[in-house]
Amino acid sequence: MKITVFGTGYVGLVTGACLADVGHNVVCVDIDQAKIDKLKQGLIPIFEPGIEDVVKRCVSEGTLNFTTSAAEGVAHGTVQFIAVGTPPDEDGAADLQYVVAVAKTIGQHMTDYKVVVDKSTVPVGTAEKVQAAIAGELANRGEAIDFDVCSNPEFLKEGSALEDFTKGARIIVGTDSERVQEVMQECYAPYMRNHNKLMFMDVRAAEFTKYAANAMLATKISFMNEMSQMAERLSVDIEHVREGIGSDPRIGYHFIYPGCGYGGSCFPKDVKALARTAQDIGYNPELLLAVENVNERQKSVLFDKVNKAFDGDLKGKTIAVWGLSFKPNTDDMREAPSRNLMESLWAAGAKVRAYDPEAMEETHRIYGDRDDLAFCEHRNEAVAGADALVICTEWKAFRTLDFDWLKQQLKFSVVVDGRNLYNPEDAKAAGFLYYAVGRGDSLAPIK
Ligand code: UDX
């Protein structure tokens, strides 16, 4: 099947690569010439485990092609995926200008029937806008060519996007057209050899499902973070509570890990956009606003704890930071809690020795060279001579820690663990002040 994907960002590239990998003939279109040139050589602009191999293989087999020519892209696919960005505008709503621009391009160039698929996360009603944009261009051309617009939201997690695309729990398609259903069946048939994962619903329900799913997951996290705050004040270990409630299948173990706040490109943006939508339709989204507020507050816990450990005096201190990306297996720093931590440390006059397995380059791109930020090549280098250690991201490599060894490295025996990776007893046995999230009251200053 011939497929075109507009946008070679995270979602577009994963979509294009995965569909080419199962034998579809895919063309990916982007306006960024430099990016397209690199992709043609198999150079991938994002960090995502497994994608490089798939892109290289599909490019060499000829099932995946890249172009900056919109006309070529529109001519190619019966299915036209729109997977361009929807960044938040000033008041948190999703900015649809790139989506609408692609829709217009499709309307300007199409000569035969197309199924236009909204893959980007877009508010309810966007498919109607895409429909109108294409129809408007066709009217300008005086053409009456048949087309359909459907919604097919993605549920990709960074770090396991290929797996999520190929083995996801469901594939949601919002459409009321039987013809679209048949085309999308054919498109996704390679992923449904075991059972049918396609769920058809109307367009607006599909658009809303994506936001509701992310908001639900963000709510679980904020709920647990709020419980962790209470647990700390009640001398309760939230990890026991997590296991206690997770064992109830109605609650489940997923997405109830307390931490230093959710980040990334989706949850913060989507919760805000959904709240904005609610306000636009005259509904006060109290729960969504609380989810967001709790998350903002949670992002300051790392700083608050390290600040408390040093009794509010961080001036001249050097803090080692392990893990900078918003979660493991990505170099994505968008809305990462490490940023709140580092910026607060700098504001308090402290220096940072940072290490991340993948996000060093991205961190350098964001903050540049500065005297109060050392880019370390290894986790050991980060802690050498530092005053304390803070862990922001639960990379696998950080899961084991020899506290006796760490004691030799740090000036003060202080660890702030934003992901509850270690056994507090091990830390205490080695003489550490160990400040985790919601694990009883261990918040005594070191003096
Ligand atoms: C998310 C959704 O999971 C995905 O379905 C959607 O398509 C895009 O948004 P992603 O942003 O890649 O994916 O990351 P995810 O693994 O969901 O984690 C989001 C954030 O929540 C991270 O900052 C993570 O650290 C945090 N988190 C997650 C917790 O703090 N606790 C948890 O229990 C789970």
Question: Is 266 near ligand 1, meaning CB less than 6 Å away?
Answer: yes
Q: In this predicted structure, what is the pLDDT of residue 91?
A: 82
Count CA atoms closer than 13 A to 132's CA, side-chain side.
6
Can you tell me the distance from the alpha carbon of 360 to that of 152, in angstroms, rounded to the nearest whole number? 34
Query: Closest ligand 1 atom, CA of 218?
Result: 21
Low-confidence ranges of the chain (pLDDT < 70): 441-447
Query: Closest ligand 1 atom, CA of 221?
Result: 31
Query: Closest ligand 1 atom, CA of 214?
Result: 2
Q: In this predicted structure, what is the pLDDT of residue 443?
A: 54
CATH 3.40.980.10 for domain 2-201: no
Q: In this predicted structure, what is the pLDDT of residue 440?
A: 73
Can you tell me the distance from the alpha carbon of 422 to that of 443, in angstroms, rounded to the nearest whole number? 16
Per domain, the residue ranges of the chain are 2-201, 211-297, 299-435
Question: Is 395 near ligand 1, meaning CB less than 6 Å away?
Answer: no
- Centre of ligand 1 to C-alpha 262, Å, is 7
CB 119 within 8 Å of CB 86: no
| Topology match between the domains 2-201 and 299-435 | yes
355 is in an annotated binding site: no
Please write the tens of the pLDDT for every residue from 343-397: 999 999 999 999 999 999 999 999 999 999 999 999 999 999 999 999 999 999 9
Comparing CA positions, the residue from 303, 316, 305, 299 lying closest to residue 351 is 316
Question: Is 214 near ligand 1, meaning CB less than 6 Å away?
Answer: yes
The full length of the chain comes to 447
- C-alpha dihedral, 335 to 51 to 87 to 181, nearest 10°: -130
Question: Is 255 near ligand 1, meaning CB less than 6 Å away?
Answer: yes
Q: Give residues with Cβ within 8 angstroms of 33, minimum separation 6.
A: 68
Question: Is 28 near ligand 1, meaning CB less than 6 Å away?
Answer: no
Q: What is the ipTM of this complex?
A: 0.95
Q: In this predicted structure, what is the pLDDT of residue 384?
A: 97
Tokens of 160: 């396991």
Q: In this predicted structure, what is the pLDDT of residue 201?
A: 98
* Residue 56 to residues 52, 65, 178, 260, 445, Cα–Cα distance (Å): 6, 11, 35, 37, 53
Residue located nearest, by CA, to atom 13 of ligand 1: 157
CB 349 within 8 Å of CB 387: no
266 in catalytic set = yes
* CATH level 3 topology of 299-435: Rossmann fold (3.40.50)
Comparing CA positions, the residue from 244, 250, 218 lying closest to residue 231 is 244
Comparing CA positions, the residue from 194, 196, 192, 182 lying closest to residue 1 is 182
* CATH level 3 topology of 211-297: N-(1-d-carboxylethyl)-l-norvaline Dehydrogenase; domain 2 (1.10.1040)
86 is in an annotated binding site: yes
Write down the pTM of the prediction: 0.93
Active-site residue, from 150, 266, 376, 392: 266
- Centre of ligand 1 to C-alpha 30, Å, is 27
334 is in an annotated binding site: yes
Can you tell me the distance from the alpha carbon of 185 to that of 200, in angstroms, rounded to the nearest whole number? 10
